[in-house]
Structure formats: C-alpha cells, structure tokens
Amino acid sequence: MVKGNWALFEEDFWAINQILQTLMRSASARSVMLIDKTGQLINSIGEPPGFDVTSFSSLAAADFAANEQLAEMVGETDFSTLVHQGAKDSLFLQLISNRVILVVLFDRQTSLGLVRLKARRASDDLLDVLQRLFEKLQYRNEEVAPPSLGADFAAEAESEIDSLFRD
C-alpha cells in the first residue's frame, strides 16, 4: 500500500521543488502540484490557484482511481495521463511510478503539446528523485490496494441513488 504520510528530506524537497519550477517555467504553466495517490498534497508551486488545494488533491487522486476502473473496462492496465481541457484553463495530470500525480494547471497561452513534452521530462527527473527518497525510507513499489466495498454496500448505494432520482 502507498504510504499516506510523507517524510521528505531537505535535499529531496529542494530537488523536487527545482524540477517543478523548471517545468512551470518551461511549459508556461500557471502552477504545478505534486500529489500522492492517496490525495495528499506533497508540493505546490506557482500562482496560487483560486480553489481549495486540499480538496483538489483528493479529487485528483479520485480521478485517477476512477480512470483505473475505466482503463480496466477497455482492456488497459491503466491510464497514466489525464487531460481536462476547458475554455480558459486546462489540467494535465500524469501518474509517476504508480505513487504520485504530477498536475500542471495551464491556460490558453500555452499548448497541450508543450505541456506534455515538458511534463514527460520532468516526470523522468521526478522518478529519479522519488526512487532515491523511497530507498531512504525503505519503501518498495507497493501498489495501492483498491477499496473493497462489498455487495451489500453497492446494493444499498444503488438503492439510495435510485431514490434520489425518482420522480
């Protein structure tokens, strides 16, 4: 299971921070975040977003969890990259080492292609830093266990949803 509590050594924090800053500048992004797969914000740089970053982190992790199920349905092992494009603002999310999510928030002044290219390079650099960090913390590439909710819960949830939408 991915550890929910992060311990960052100072040199790792500054290495991660430098990679995120370089990505933000080179991709002309507004802000860049690093979130663990459990929804915990690890680092955020750039323009402070106009939303609750803690809630956003949880939703980004949930977005990947939902997309894992979609990927499985279509015969893929996962979707490691997600893109959400809006009229003014867009999000690029990339899963790194099945542990952390790199989020790039950008607007129409930059292109998705540039963000993808720069994020790929940053992901490789982040992977190196994270692997060294996990070795120090003696973490191995452990998978996040999917939640198990049981048949009773699913049936009750379905019944509750049905009752909400009855005429």
Cα 166 to Cα 42: distance, rounded to the nearest angstrom = 42
Give pLDDT tens digits for 86-138.
999 999 999 998 889 999 999 999 999 999 999 999 999 999 998 888 787 77
149 has pLDDT over 70: no
Mean pLDDT of 50-77: 88
Residue pair 35/112 in contact (Cβ under 8 Å)? The answer is: no
d(CA 142, CA 146): 12
Higher-pLDDT residue of 6, 28: 28
Is residue 143 scored above 50 in pLDDT?
Answer: no
Amino acid at 150: G
Average pLDDT in the chain: 83
Instruction: Give the CATH number of domain 10-164.
Output: 3.30.450.30
pLDDT for 118 equals 94
Tokens (6 digits) for 26: 């080179």
Q: What is the pTM of this model?
A: 0.76
11 has a pLDDT exceeding 90: no
Please report, rounded to a whole number, the percentage of residues in the chain having pLDDT higher than 70: 78
CB 51 within 8 A of CB 127: no
Tell me the CA end-to-end span of the chain in Å, nearest whole number: 43
